[in-house]
Structure formats: structure tokens, C-alpha cells
């Protein structure tokens, strides 16, 4: 197909009218901020105007920050949230795809976690099952990691791809993982970066607008959301995360996307590695049919739901089996290798990563200059390894941002050397920290030691991280079922 086919122009206006209210309309940005600050409901036109002003950068960063904080503190009604999401989705071009891909276009998104690398193996696994995955992803937000940052630890990987390039990659490989851009959900690019540095990440309408704005612009048929809860998630309790999940499923369905959500625990890190390049290594293990059980469980569960949603599996368990098969037979790994090359990685680098030894992989991703192991201070069974202190220490060592656009050190990270349920003796190493500059401090060591919870009990097998699944009714797109696993 021609590169321009099916790529529509930016921004239809509110309620589908052909033009958004112009910047010259009567809406005043300070009035909109004041209204939200005082807890009033915004008119549709006011929300569109705000998003347009963000997109065109006619609003100062200070004003955007004030508006984000007002929304964070005062919230939005479901109607306002839907309008905000539509406005973000159409702030740039909306993707369209060949008719024969209808029903095959799927995606997954997470609300953000620590060690959450699921997208890296899942996108190619879905593509290996015949789906098309035009994944628009994000960077680290607050203490949580971001898929784009992880992928950028691979030399040469280009997260910036035009809609035309995405089309070509999807035709050839079946999946791509890209960033928001001037062309694609530009409003989210601006808001996302400012939320990260203004303590406005954990806002239900802002998360909904950010995630579903990207997904609606992708023009996918089916979406599964990994909604995290726990001490290292944006929402600590199952109840609050469930509210977010319901909002996401409801808005997603109203946007015409068959949307499901899975509530998963985020007290401890997902998998055994945290930090950008270390997480790429662990993703490669998952793509080889190996790696930590909790990571594989999430990849197969989320993928299984999507295969069922888009009709490529007769049930969620059948879908999960299909995903497990492409992880085990190497086809997901081949697809990942093809995606790396399609997104700018040299063939030899992609080979070393996908078919090389562990040492070759480390040569490509480069080890941090220093590593230090911390040891257990007494004997006991590991009850929990809390992710939040680990993420905070790594953030301080340069793995995350404190300012917009800041350079991050992809090599900073941590490897867990023990797992929940395991018995350890005093002096056993339990975590290895990879760092460069700044160096690991005594305060960091103390904070990290606080993450390991040991008790004098019998060893046990860790439970599933999946707590609950919220499914849409496939035919009507309405939220009708709450399935508890
Ligand atoms: N991922 C996003 O893209 N946006 C959020 O707000 C949270 C997670």
C-alpha cells in the first residue's frame, strides 16, 4: 500500500466535528486552570482548548504544570476523562491500516512498575502469532521504568518512527515499539514529560488520557491493560487500582477498542532484574523460553487474553498456550531480532543479542563499571523484596529522570540473587547493584537492606502475581464481566 494511504489528518474536534475549537476561541487558559483548581467541571470546549494549547506549545510549561496539578488534586468526571482522552488521541495523526489487518491489530500497556519488561517479549510473541502490534510506548515515569528507555539501551535502536515507517515495519515484521512524536500523540509527549517532573503521575484521568490517547491513535481493535497495584505501583491497593482499571476499560470500550484489564501485584519487582539494559537481558531469556516464572506468566496471560479477544484463540488459556509455544520454539525471538533491525540496530548487534552468548550480550549492552553485592544480615525465609526502595536507589544512581529530557544511565540496575519463599543464611548475597557515577552510598545500602524482609518460617513457593481480570463483553464492547482468578 502507499505510504500515505490510511493516515488521517490531525484533530477532529469535539464530538467528532471536523474542526477543533481554534486557538482564537473565547477560552482563556488561566480561566480553565482556575476552574479546575476550584473543582469545577470543565466544558468539552475547554478541555479541547487545553490539549490544543499543549500540542501547539502556546501554553507555558508553568501553566501546563498548574493545570496538571489541578487535575491531579480535583480529578475529572468520566465524561471529562473521555473528552480529554479523545483530544489527546487526535492531537496528531491517527493511524489507519489495510483492511485485511482489521481485527488483528492489538496492543498491551501497563500502568507502570519496577522490572516490568513485559512489552519487550510480548510484542514480538504476538506478532509471531499473526497479530499486528503498533505499540506506542512510554519512558520511565516517576520511579517506574519505561519500555522506550529499556530499548534505547540497545545501540542503534530508534524509538522515533514516522507513521509511514511504522506501516512498513508492521508489514515486514508484525510489530514495532515507538515513542510519541510531533506527529503521533504530541500532546501526550508534552504532558508525559511534565507529569514525570511535577509529581502528577498518579492521577486517574491523566493516566487514562495518556494510555488510551496513545492506544486510540494506534487504531487497534483489542487492548489489554496491565494495571499494577501494591507498594511500588501508582495505586497501592487492589480497590484503587480496580477503579483505575474500570475507568480504562470503560473509556477504551467507548473509544471502540475491545479493552480488558488484568490487575497484577507490584510489591516486589517483576522478574529478577531491574534497570534498563539488565531488563533487556532478562527479556531475551524470556524470548528463549527461559527466565523468571512471574515474567513468563504475565507475558502468556496478557498475550492469551489478546489472542482470544482478536479471535486467534478459542479461549484465554488456549491463547496463553499459543504464546508459550512461540516463546519456546524461537519464533518470538526471531521476530524480536527482525524488529531490532527494522528499527535501526545493525545486523551484527542484533545477532549478538539474540543468538550470542551471555558475554556477547554484555559486550553489546555494556556492564556498568562497578558492581556490589549486599548480603543478608540474618538467616530467614524471604517474605518479600520490596521494589520501591530498590527503584528509588537506582533512580538516584542515574537510572531515572528528575528533569525533563535528562540523560539516563542505562547500565545502572540491580539483580536479585534470591527469590521470595527462599531460605537464606546470614552473609548470603541477595542483591547485586550495578552503578557508575554517582557511587553507591551508605544511605543507599541502608535503604536497600530495608527492601529485604526475612522471617523465621518454612520456605514456600511464591504465588501468582495476577489477582483479577476485567473483561469486556466481546460483542458490544461494554464492560459486563468481572472475572476473578
Ligand atoms: N503509561 C503511560 O503511558 N501513561 C501513564 O500515565 C502511565 C503509564
Biggest distance spanned by C-alpha atoms of the chain: 69
pLDDT higher than 90, residue 347: yes
Strand partners, 303: none
Active-site residue, from 93, 109, 312, 322: 109
* pLDDT exceeds cutoff 80 at 25: no
Taking the C-alpha atoms of residue 337 and residue 376, their distance in angstroms, rounded to an integer, is: 39
Contacts by 96-102 with C-beta closer than 8 Å and gap 24+?
96/5, 96/6, 96/7, 96/8, 96/219, 97/6, 97/132, 97/134, 97/167, 97/170, 97/219, 98/1, 98/5, 98/6, 101/132, 101/170, 102/221
Q: What are the backbone angles phi and psi of residue 408, rounded to the nearest 5°?
A: -120, 155
- Which pLDDT tens digit goes with each residue over 219-268? 999 999 999 999 999 999 999 999 999 999 999 999 999 999 999 999 99
Q: What is the pLDDT of residue 338?
A: 98
pLDDT at position 6 is 36
Distance CA 478, CA 24 (A): 38
What does the pLDDT look like over 80-111, one tens digit per residue?
999 999 999 999 999 999 999 999 999 999 99
More confident residue, 401 or 432: 432
Residue bearing the bigger pLDDT, 474 or 173: 173
The Cα–Cα gap between 390 and 388 comes to: 5
pTM, two decimals, is 0.92
Q: Are 382 and 454 in contact (CB under 8 A)?
A: yes
> What pLDDT sits at residue 16?
39
Is residue 180 within 8 Å of residue 186, measured between CB atoms? yes
Q: Beta strand pairing status for 466-472 and 479-483?
A: antiparallel
Residue of 91, 210, 247, 253 marked catalytic: 210
* Ligand 1 center to 247 CA (angstroms): 14
Can you give the pLDDT at residue 481? 38
Give the pLDDT mean for 145-150: 94
Please say if 226 is a catalytic residue: no
The pLDDT, as a whole number, for residue 314 is 95
| Strand 429-435 to 370-375 pairing | antiparallel
Q: Is the backbone peptide bond immediately before 435 cis, with ω within 30 degrees of 0?
A: no
Q: Which atom of ligand 1 is nearest to the CA of 206?
A: 6
pLDDT of residue 473: 59
Q: Which residues are CB-contacts of 79 (< 8 A; sequence separation ≥ 6)?
A: none
What H or E segment, with its residue span, contains residue 100? none
Establish whether residue 210 lines the binding site of ligand 1, counting it when its CB lies within 6 angstroms of any ligand atom: yes
Please give the distance, rounded to the nearest whole angstrom, from the Cα atom of residue 55 to the centre of ligand 1.
18
Q: What is the DSSP string of 154-207?
A: STT------HHHHHHHHHHTSEEEE---SSSSHHHHHHHHHHHHTT--S-HHHH
Report CA dihedral (422, 304, 339, 111) to the nearest 10 degrees: -70
Active site residue 446: no
Q: Residue 214 catalytic?
A: yes
- What's the CA-to-centroid distance between 123 and ligand 1, angstroms? 17
In order of their start, the domains of the chain are 3-89 (1.20.970.10), 95-352+465-481 (3.40.1030.10), 369-455 (3.90.1170.30)
What is the predicted pLDDT for the residue at 171? 98
Across residues 290-299, what is the average pLDDT?
98
Q: What is the pLDDT of residue 1?
A: 31
Q: What is the rounded average pLDDT of the residues 189-203?
A: 93
Average pLDDT over residues 44-62: 97
* 378 or 404, which is more confident: 378
Q: Is the CB of 211 under 6 A from ligand 1?
A: yes
Please report how many Cα atoms fall inside a 13 Å half-sphere around the Cα of residue 246, on the Cβ side: 11
Contacts of 156 by beta carbon, 8 Å cutoff, 6+ apart = 344, 345, 346, 349
| Interior angle at CA 311, CA 221 and CA 89, nearest 5 | 10
List CB contacts of 380: < 8 A, sequence separation 6 or more.
Answer: 423, 424, 454, 455, 456, 457
Cross-strand bridge partners of residue 372: 433
What's the CA gap between 225 and 2, in Å, rounded? Answer: 32
Distances (CA, A) of 351 to 62, 159, 242: 46, 19, 41
Q: Is 207 in the pocket of ligand 1 (CB under 6 A)?
A: yes
- Label residue 474 by pLDDT band (50, 70, 90): low
Cβ–ligand 1 distance for 233 under 6 Å, the answer no
Burial class (CB in 10 A: 0-12, 13-18, 19+), 12: middle
Query: Given pLDDT bands bounded at 50, 70 and 90, which one contains residue 405?
Result: confident
What is the arithmetic mean of pLDDT over 132-144? Answer: 92
Of the candidates 220, 61, 230, the residue with the CA atom closest to the CA atom of residue 144: 230
Q: What is the pLDDT of residue 142?
A: 83
Radius of gyration for the alpha carbons in the chain, expressed in angstroms and rounded: 22
Mark whether 172 is an active-site residue: no
Amino acid at each position: 500500500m502507499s505510504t500515505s494511504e490510511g493516515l488521517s489528518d490531525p484533530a477532529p474536534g469535539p464530538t467528532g466535528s471536523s474542526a477543533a475549537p481554534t486557538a482564537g476561541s473565547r477560552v482563556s487558559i488561566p480561566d480553565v486552570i482556575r476552574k479546575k483548581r476550584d473543582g469545577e467541571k470543565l466544558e468539552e470546549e475547554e478541555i479541547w482548548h487545553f490539549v490544543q494549547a499543549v500540542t501547539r506549545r502556546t501554553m507555558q510549561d508553568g501553566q501546563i504544570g498548574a493545570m496538571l496539578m489541578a487535575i491531579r488534586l480535583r480529578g475529572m468526571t468520566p465524561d471529562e476523562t473521555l473528552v480529554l482522552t479523545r483530544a489527546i488521541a487526535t492531537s496528531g495523526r491517527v493511524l489507519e491500516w489495510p483492511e485485511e489487518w482489521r481485527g488483528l491489530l492489538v496492543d498491551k500497556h501497563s500502568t507502570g512498575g519496577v522490572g516490568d519488561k513485559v512489552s519487550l517479549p510480548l510484542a514480538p510473541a504476538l506478532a509471531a502469532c499473526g497479530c499486528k502490534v503498533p505499540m506506542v510506548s512510554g519512558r520511565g515515569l516517576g520511579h517506574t521504568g519505561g519500555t522506550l528507555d529499556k530499548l534505547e539501551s540497545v545501540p542503534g535502536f530508534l524509538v522515533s518512527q514516522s507513521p509511514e515507517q511504522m506501516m512498513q515495519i508492521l508489514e515486514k515484521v508484525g510489530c514495532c515499539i515507538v515513542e510519541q512524536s510531533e506527529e503521533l500523540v504530541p500532546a501526550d509527549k508534552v504532558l508525559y514529560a511534565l507529569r514525570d517532573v511535577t509529581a502528577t503521575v498518579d492521577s486517574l484521568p491523566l493516566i487514562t488520557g495518556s494510555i488510551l490517547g496513545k492506544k486510540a491513535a494506534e487504531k487497534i481493535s483489542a487492548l489489554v491493560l496491565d494495571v499494577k497495584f501494591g507498594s511500588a505501583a501508582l495505586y497501592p491497593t487492589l480497590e484503587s487500582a480496580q477503579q483505575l482499571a474500570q475507568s480504562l476499560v470503560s473509556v477504551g470500550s467507548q473509544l471502540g477498542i475491545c479493552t480488558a484489564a488484568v490487575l497484577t501485584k507490584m510489591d516486589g519487582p517483576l522478574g529478577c532484574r531491574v534497570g534498563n539494559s539488565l531488563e533487556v537481558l532478562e527479556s531475551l531469556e524470556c524470548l528463549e523460553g527461559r527466565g523468571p516464572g512471574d515474567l513468563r506468566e504475565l507475558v502468556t496471560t496478557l498475550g492469551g487474553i489478546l489472542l482470544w479477544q482478536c479471535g486467534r484463540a478459542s479461549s484465554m488459556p488456549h491463547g496463553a498456550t499459543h504464546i508459550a509455544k512461540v516463546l519456546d520454539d524461537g519464533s518470538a525471538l526471531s521476530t524480536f531480532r527482525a524488529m531490532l533491525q527494522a528499527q535501526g540496530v545493525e545486523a551484527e548487534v542484533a545477532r549478538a543479542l539474540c543468538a550470542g552468548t551471555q558475554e556477547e550480550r554484555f559486550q553489546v549492552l555494556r556492564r556498568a563499571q562497578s558492581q556490589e553485592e549486599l548480603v543478608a544480615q540474618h538467616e530467614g525465609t524471604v517474605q518479600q523484596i520490596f521494589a520501591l526502595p530498590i527503584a528509588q536507589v537506582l533512580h538516584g544512581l542515574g537510572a531515572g529522570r528528575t528533569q525533563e529530557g535528562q540523560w539516563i544511565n542505562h547500565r545502572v540496575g540491580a539483580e536479585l540473587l534470591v527469590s521470595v519463599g527462599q531460605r537464606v543464611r546470614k552473609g548470603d548475597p541477595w542483591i547485586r547493584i550495578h552503578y557508575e557515577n554517582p557511587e553507591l552510598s551508605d544511605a543507599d545500602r541502608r535503604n536497600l537492606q530495608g527492601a529485604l524482609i526475612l522471617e523465621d518460617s518454612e520456605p514456600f513457593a511464591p504465588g501468582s502475581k495476577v489477582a483479577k481480570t476485567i473483561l469486556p463483553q466481546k460483542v458490544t464492547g461494554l464492560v459486563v464481566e468481572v472475572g476473578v482468578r
